[in-house]
A and B are shown apart, each in its own frame.
Chain A
């Protein structure tokens, strides 16, 4: 753990909030000043999140060595200790101590890349919205609030704080889409998206409250109290922790000690808390990650949203769902994960293949990208379902890679649409001649999405498939009298088909939009993009290349992040 005087993570969360409040108090007519404040705030948080990322990356080797030692020690709370000691930049303040709620933030190997991604997409979003003239003040203020909520979720180490920021992010998104979105769809899409996500999250909220209560009951037993005492003495949980606590470390401790696996929950002999609640919590958050059949909000939402919001939504918010599902689902309810992920993997397969198919069928440029997100996010959940280190690392990498890639895609779509005023694929063509930057960026994004080696998509997807293959022999699914074994290998073959379809639609779009003949009579005014747009493309495109060539800058970090999760999964 590093001792840092500056509360970096709080700054990352609160700078956008403060900037949003300042912007709301400014004169709405002075648009350039508003934009200036917004871009300054976004740049500041990007630099801070980069500093956090680099700072954590320097510790990764040490963290990994420590984790191996802990695993070898065979301590019954090794997983929790790995989790607690892998955290950095921690800040812990009391909020509502009587209910065990604290403002506890920190990052580990899983959240650090997400923080960096959010920083990048936030700045890109502000820049790409440069030309919004209708109520710029409100737009920027709500956008920054949304960014603050997203940051808050990724750095939260307390389930209550996590929910607080999760819900905080949802409302500004609604207003941004409803007000500045695509006129024909925005009202329907924004409401649908908001209600879908909220229903999922509030059901998960009740589940988490119930989880805290079960943990409380466990820590009150003699055995549980001893575990808590021991963990406190070892400095794993914060001193003075009560049995009733929303702190993620405390809940992880309860999970590892098996508090949620006790059979007989709710009077049913074969049911444990984890078995009952895992689907609700995992899929409740998974709604935001676009898990089939709750993915329906996502393409409409992405298409209706203004470019910046599509970017942050597909790029970052969907990861929010996956991240929260991983934390609250897999990490805290390991037994539930072992029971339920083997069938949830079928849903993820549908995501991957079906999403790709639908994307292939679209005429609307933006819908292609919207459905491709559904497809790629399926790979993230599939990585979780492997429950081994390769696959989960791949899932973490895919979250980052897809985030940057899809934000880049939506940026490209927005830039084309701004000038062509249509997104109908067959009527476009030859745009790379007038917009070389956009064309190049789209090709890079497209190759990434196909999983071309040398780009980040390959680095992310290859381990997921390998992980699936490796997991195949370990995982069997039992439903009634039916026993399925070794079926992950079949799934991985089918999922690989999804990649082929991805290649097909990416090539089709590239060919029809960017290559071919440019129709100068239809689009007389199309010219090259502005400097701010170029910054956006470079900002989002370069990580794809860097990660593709140098996976070492992120892969070990994510591996160190999934270590504790797997230790708990194995120990359950």
Chain B
């Protein structure tokens, strides 16, 4: 690397710089704004995050792969990072938007402050290109989320949720750190783009330790993305945490971890990597396929018997992680389809899940209930809430014209192209199981009667936006916007293979 070019490197971290400034502004507002005007803190956060979501597009990554690795090789400013940053920032903005009118934390400055810091971590994760940055980013993302999960200190369930999340998260971090340290111990390298070349020689062609390191890292990621069999924290954490926090964890944290997972696997363990005569890629592809099958099946089957809508969405999110892992397994075909389909899937999943959780937030704010049975008659109480939930659930189930149809189609297409037709079949059959419990929820909202069905649920203007924006995104991604976003994801995928 020729001399350090400060101004030339700056565009790579514009969102992170912006997020830091935004955090400081929120801190000041929190101190200075009097009680009745504190709602503005939330609006500042929302607008700030929306503004920052544009910056990765304005300061687009350089076309030349050689100049994408900046800040001493800490971050890689490429299209994949660009997509995931936009996704994460939009997700954070929508999370803030749905929090505005919540009684518990809608006017608490520190809630938004911590949210912004977690977003900062997620942005770093999606661009991390060095083992140090990988770990630093993941911790910057996770620690604020532990706090947010336990944000309602007076609520036992929230405290339990935070504690569980923290214990499992810390355990996962430790495992991952152990794996990373093995890799570093072999090679003396921390840059993930330099590891692949030196790994065979550095490990003395011993395949077992390399596989051990790989497994440890993948297990760590398995915890972060909530894939089975490392999903135990998800249902309790999702149920107990304040709902907007659950929403954020289910999308931003998952998306960032997936971005890092595909980057890490392709860069450190590429197809060309042969240690002791064994192709390492074949190993992690089967690992991903196995995790995909377990996650989809377990998540969907366990979701069938849930009574709490947040727990249902928790199990559904385990299954969704399983679908996305199909795309990871499809990387074996060495085409960009696998990664591109993962990118598109998470992009649409972000909006879909935020839409579903926004409905849960507004419903439980108005009624204080989170059980599925209490959703009865929602169509009569608030036609729009019911319709939005329906669209979100259909998108999760993969029914057109919502984004989920394209998301699943791209994934299954990638799997068939990668000669994993059996995995695609498992995927589509699982999608049917999932549709069963999504349809049950829809049925409850439209068909079942309840005693309060004549009491309308009022929606504030902020709530309206928090529903309309993701709904629009879901419908557009399911029709005309599928093409540009998928092309973008293809570009992002190609960037990984150009390293």
User: Chain B contacts of A137 at CB under 8 A?
Assistant: 383
Determine, out of A50-58, A202-210, A420-428, A485-493, the stretch whose residues face the partner at the interface: A202-210
A164:B446 contact, CB within 8 angstroms: no
A24:B387 contact, CB within 8 angstroms: yes
Given the contacts A135-B379, A198-B432, A203-B425, A209 and B413 also touching, CB distance less than 8 Å: yes
B447:A98 contact, CB within 8 angstroms: no
| Of B380, B428, B442, B490, the contact of A206 (CB 8 Å cutoff) | B428
A202:B431 contact, CB within 8 angstroms: yes
In this assembly, does A99 line the interface, its C-beta being within 8 Å of a C-beta of chain B? yes
| Of A165, A178, A210, the contact of B447 (CB 8 Å cutoff) | A178
In this assembly, does A462 line the interface, its C-beta being within 8 Å of a C-beta of chain B? no
Range, interface on chain A? 35 or more
A167:B443 contact, CB within 8 angstroms: no
Q: Once the chains are docked, how many angstroms separate the CA of A96 from the CA of B487?
A: 8
| Of A97, A198, A199, A213, the contact of B483 (CB 8 Å cutoff) | A97
User: Chain B contacts of A206 at CB under 8 A?
Assistant: 412, 416, 421, 424-425, 428
Map CB proximity to B onto A503-524 as digits: 1 under 8 Å, 0 otherwise.
0000000000000000000000
Determine, out of B40-48, B197-205, B397-405, the stretch whose residues face the partner at the interface: B397-405
The binding surface of chain B is classed by DSSP as helix
In this assembly, does B132 line the interface, its C-beta being within 8 Å of a C-beta of chain A? no
Map CB proximity to B onto A140-160 as digits: 1 under 8 Å, 0 otherwise.
000000000000000000001
Q: Once the chains are docked, how many angstroms separate the CA of A167 from the CA of B397?
A: 11
Q: Once the chains are docked, how many angstroms separate the CA of A160 from the CA of B410?
A: 11
In this assembly, does B486 line the interface, its C-beta being within 8 Å of a C-beta of chain A? yes
B417:A203 contact, CB within 8 angstroms: no
Q: Once the chains are docked, how many angstroms separate the CA of A148 from the CA of B432?
A: 23
Q: Once the chains are docked, how many angstroms separate the CA of A164 from the CA of B380?
A: 30
User: Chain B contacts of A160 at CB under 8 A?
Assistant: 409
User: Chain B contacts of A210 at CB under 8 A?
Assistant: 416, 421
Determine, out of A169-177, A250-258, A319-327, A401-409, the stretch whose residues face the partner at the interface: A169-177
B residues 376-407 near A (Cβ < 8 Å) are 379-380, 383, 387, 394, 399-401, 405
B405:A167 contact, CB within 8 angstroms: yes
User: Chain B contacts of A95 at CB under 8 A?
Assistant: 482-483
A174:B439 contact, CB within 8 angstroms: yes
Closest beta carbon of chain A to B471's beta carbon, Å? 12
Given the contacts A206-B424, A206-B425, A209-B413, A187 and B443 also touching, CB distance less than 8 Å: yes
User: Chain B contacts of A199 at CB under 8 A?
Assistant: 429, 432
In this assembly, does A33 line the interface, its C-beta being within 8 Å of a C-beta of chain B? no
A171:B446 contact, CB within 8 angstroms: no
B432:A202 contact, CB within 8 angstroms: yes
The binding surface of chain A is classed by DSSP as helix
Q: Once the chains are docked, how many angstroms separate the CA of A372 from the CA of B483?
A: 44
Q: Once the chains are docked, how many angstroms separate the CA of A281 from the CA of B435?
A: 21
In this assembly, does A194 line the interface, its C-beta being within 8 Å of a C-beta of chain B? yes
Given the contacts A97-B483, A171-B399, A213 and B417 also touching, CB distance less than 8 Å: yes
In the complex formed, the residue of A with least CB distance to B425 is A206
A residues 74-107 near B (Cβ < 8 Å) are 94-99
B399:A99 contact, CB within 8 angstroms: no
A98:B394 contact, CB within 8 angstroms: no
| Of B405, B409, B436, the contact of A191 (CB 8 Å cutoff) | B436
Closest beta carbon of chain B to A209's beta carbon, Å? 5
A175:B424 contact, CB within 8 angstroms: no
| Of A138, A168, A195, the contact of B432 (CB 8 Å cutoff) | A195
In this assembly, does A556 line the interface, its C-beta being within 8 Å of a C-beta of chain B? no
B405:A98 contact, CB within 8 angstroms: no
B residues 17-35 near A (Cβ < 8 Å) are none
User: Chain B contacts of A190 at CB under 8 A?
Assistant: 443
Q: Once the chains are docked, how many angstroms separate the CA of A202 from the CA of B446?
A: 26
A170:B399 contact, CB within 8 angstroms: yes
In the complex formed, the residue of B with least CB distance to A244 is B417
In this assembly, does A179 line the interface, its C-beta being within 8 Å of a C-beta of chain B? yes
In the complex formed, the residue of A with least CB distance to B442 is A175
In this assembly, does A28 line the interface, its C-beta being within 8 Å of a C-beta of chain B? yes
| Of B387, B401, B412, B486, the contact of A209 (CB 8 Å cutoff) | B412
| Of A138, A194, A205, the contact of B435 (CB 8 Å cutoff) | A194
Given the contacts A98-B490, A202-B429, A206-B416, A191 and B439 also touching, CB distance less than 8 Å: yes
Map CB proximity to B onto A174-198 as digits: 1 under 8 Å, 0 otherwise.
1100110000001100110011001
B residues 289-348 near A (Cβ < 8 Å) are none
B394:A171 contact, CB within 8 angstroms: yes
User: Chain A contacts of B380 at CB under 8 A?
Assistant: 135
Closest beta carbon of chain A to B412's beta carbon, Å? 6
A residues 364-400 near B (Cβ < 8 Å) are none
Given the contacts A138-B379, A202-B428, A168 and B412 also touching, CB distance less than 8 Å: no
Given the contacts A194-B439, A198-B432, A28 and B383 also touching, CB distance less than 8 Å: yes
B443:A178 contact, CB within 8 angstroms: yes
Q: Once the chains are docked, how many angstroms separate the CA of A186 from the CA of B428?
A: 26
In the complex formed, the residue of B with least CB distance to A209 is B416
A179:B446 contact, CB within 8 angstroms: yes
Q: Once the chains are docked, how many angstroms separate the CA of A116 from the CA of B21?
A: 62
Q: Once the chains are docked, how many angstroms separate the CA of A96 from the CA of B489?
A: 13
User: Chain A contacts of B424 at CB under 8 A?
Assistant: 206, 209
Closest beta carbon of chain A to B300's beta carbon, Å? 13
Give residues in A with beta carbon < 8 Å to B: 24, 28, 94-99, 135, 137-138, 160, 163-165, 167-168, 170-171, 174-175, 178-179, 186-187, 190-191, 194-195, 198-199, 202-203, 205-206, 209-210, 213
Give residues in B with beta carbon < 8 Å to A: 379-380, 383, 387, 394, 399-401, 405, 409-410, 412-413, 416-417, 421, 424-425, 428-429, 431-432, 435-436, 439, 442-443, 446-447, 482-483, 486-487, 490
Which 5 A-B residue pairings sit nearest by Cβ, starting from the closest?
Answer: A202-B428, A209-B416, A168-B400, A96-B483, A164-B400
Given contacts A99-B410, A178-B446, A187-B447, 9 further A-B contacts (CB under 8 A): A96-B482, A96-B486, A137-B383, A178-B443, A191-B443, A195-B435, A202-B432, A205-B428, A209-B424
Q: List 19 A-B contacts (CB under 8 A).
A: A96-B486, A97-B483, A98-B487, A99-B410, A160-B409, A163-B409, A167-B399, A167-B400, A174-B439, A178-B446, A187-B443, A187-B447, A195-B432, A195-B435, A202-B431, A203-B425, A206-B412, A210-B416, A213-B417
